[in-house]
Amino acid sequence: MKRILQVILSITGITLPLFAIDVGQPAFNFKLNDDSNKTIQLSDYKGKWVVLYFFPKADTPGCTTQGKEYTKMYDKFTSSNAVVFGISTDDVEALKKFKEKYGFKHTLLSDPKGEVAKSYNVRVMFGLCSRDTILINPDSKVEKIYRGVDPGADPYKVLDYITSKKM
């Protein structure tokens, strides 16, 4: 009965998919278009820490705060062998405008159907992703999952974790 309910809810987009990736498992190797309409493939970043921060909607207060904080810390992430991607269901043009408006240094990715989000157990409701962050280690495995993050504190927690692993 539980499985049937999960399937029904998953199909309607109300809950999480049945076979989502969890900590310790290989990361889902996705291909998404970035804010300049270039295709980004996760497997191209093997050997680096990869931060996937999912956000609901471009140019809204929380999403702007989170993007600004990741931009402030961009050089620290880069020097820690990490790449940062912000992901939402917004289209490429909306992400391009959002990035340009605030001068974000990191790349934004368009997941229009929420398929990548769902593969990482990120809820997608009414076409919007929940605010979750997935950290992928240099071996391309899911290292850490942060659910319902505080947009201002998220980048600091993620960077602290990465730098603690380098010691």
Q: Which residues are catalytic?
A: 63
Beta bridge partners of 39: 33
Between the alpha carbon of residue 119 and those of residues 27, 78, 94, 153, the distances in Å are 9, 26, 23, 24
SS3 90: coil
From CA 40, how far away is CA 45, in angstroms rounded?
Answer: 10
SS3 7: helix
